[in-house]
Copies of this chain bind each other. A is one copy, B any other.
Amino acid sequence: MKSDTFHMSLLFDYYGELLTEKQRELFDLYYNEDLSLAEIAEHAGISRQGVRDAIVRSESILRETEDRLGLVKKYGSYESKLEEIRQSAAYIAQVNASLRNFEIAKNVDRILKLTEEMN
C-alpha cells in the first residue's frame, strides 16, 4: 500500500500538525522510520489492520489538505532553488574577488543575506 515516500514525507512536513498525535506517531514510523505495518502494530499494541486504517486516513487528510491549499506544490521546491541562488551568488562573489567591483560585492552580499533569512 505504500505511497510515494518522498511526497508523503513532504506532505507530512507541511501539514502533519493537522493530524492527531497518534496519527502522527504511526505515520512517522511508517514513512520516516520505514517500519512495517506489523512492526508498528507490535510497537503500538494495536492490530495491523488498525495501523493500516490510521495511516490510510492520515494520507487522505494530508492529500486533501494539499488539494485545497496547494502549499507543497507552491513552496516544495523552494529550498533547492534557494540553494541554487546561494551557489550562483557565491560564485559571483568568487569571480568578483579579483575584479573588486564594489557595487557587485554589495549586491551579492545582499543576495546571500536574503537567502540566509529565507532558510
Checking B71, B81, B99, B107 against A101 with a beta-carbon cut-off of 8 angstroms, the contacting residue is B99
- With A69-B14, A84-B110 as known contacts, state yes or no: A96 contacts B104, CB within 8 Å: yes
Which of A17, A78, A85, A108 counts the most chain B CB atoms within 10 A?
A: A85
Check: A4 CB closer than 8 A to any chain B CB. no
CB-based contact B103/A69 at 8 Å: no
Give chain B residues whose Cβ lies under 8 Å from the Cβ of A69.
14-15, 17-18
Checking B17, B71, B104, B115 against A92 with a beta-carbon cut-off of 8 angstroms, the contacting residue is B104
Q: Which residues of A are at the interface with B, using a C-beta cutoff of 8 A?
A: 14-15, 17-18, 65, 68-69, 71, 75, 78, 81, 84-85, 88-89, 91-92, 95-96, 99, 101, 103-104, 107-108, 110-111, 114-115, 117-118
